[in-house]
Amino acid sequence: MTEPEAAPAAASRPDSRNLVMRIAAAVVLIPLAVAIAYAGGFLWATLVTLAAIGLFVEWLAIVGLAGAMRVIVPGVAALAIAGLCFAFGRLDAALIVLAVGFVAVVAIAPERRSWAAAGFLYAAAAEIASVLVRLDPVKGFAALMFVLLIVWVTDSGGYFAGRGIGGPKLWPRVSPKKTWAGAIGGFAASLAVAISFAVLDLGRMGPLLMLAAVLSVVSQLGDLFESAVKRRFGVKDSSHIIPGHGGLMDRLDGFVAAVIVAAVFGFLRGGADGVGRGLMVW
């Protein structure tokens, strides 16, 4: 084997190991997430709260505030207390706690105050939206699974279409590996999810296709947003907590964007206690 031929072969080995780790992590984490989502209630609120805390801590690490305990402590405390309020159905109290936490983070942050505030809003919005989408006892689980599946297939479809087809880059300055083929492949996969839900009589075909299209695009924009933040601060991965995936932000960036948009849309149609119904019933 010549030296030019050896280089691609050597480069492919880390990619193969990374793919194996991605699949192994998915095999463990996806069934666990689905089971907790199905259970809902306290278990789902706990998982969402832990994820929100992780997002906030990772965001601070990315923007150079990893050791700023005076910011970390009030932010984490507010997210944790709000999660407890969510678990007991006190949405009003949770929102008040998060508002107080935001003010505390902004007031106490020693530097990069706007970035610290943005990180808290990012985590708090993900926490609120994830709880609201699941809250409806009748349609909440279906709505949450719809959002989760859209994000998962958009990411997976984009990954395999991008690797298999290649072609022009989507936004090389922000995310050098993402391609237009991957973006289109992920988008097409999301439409397949909408069709499946309609075939299973979980919603009407037309509205679900439109919703899937919007959430798929938003999910990809959320991914690009996180990449732009990391590139702004010269960071490759938000952390290394998930094998093959990096950190929570690396894994949940698309979901955060999609679930926030889904929650807003469902809230406008069904109110705070009917977000799932607002998404699935037309």
Q: In the listed set 135, 167, 196, which residue is the last one of a domain according to the structure?
A: 135
169 and 278 within one domain: yes
278 and 140 within one domain: yes
Range of the domain at 88: 40-135
143 and 99 within one domain: no
Residue 269 CA to residue 89 CA, distance in Å, equals 20
200 and 262 within one domain: yes
Divide the 282 residues of the chain into consecutive groups of 10 and give the mean pLDDT of each group. 46 59 74 94 96 96 91 97 96 97 93 94 98 96 97 89 82 83 93 96 95 97 93 81 72 95 97 95 91
Q: At 171, which helix (H) or strand (E)?
A: strand 169-171
pLDDT value at residue 17: 67
165 and 76 within one domain: no
pLDDT value at residue 7: 44
208 and 255 within one domain: yes
pLDDT value at residue 242: 65
Instruction: Give pTM, 2 decimals.
Output: 0.89
The number of distinct structural domains making up the chain is 2
pLDDT value at residue 244: 55
Question: Which residue blocks in the chain are alpha helix, DSSP H?
Answer: 3-39, 41-62, 69-87, 91-108, 113-135, 140-165, 180-199, 205-232, 248-270, 275-280
Question: Could you tell me if residue 266 is inside a domain?
Answer: yes
Q: In the listed set 87, 105, 135, which residue is the last one of a domain according to the structure?
A: 135
140 and 272 within one domain: yes
Q: In the listed set 135, 160, 192, which residue is the last one of a domain according to the structure?
A: 135
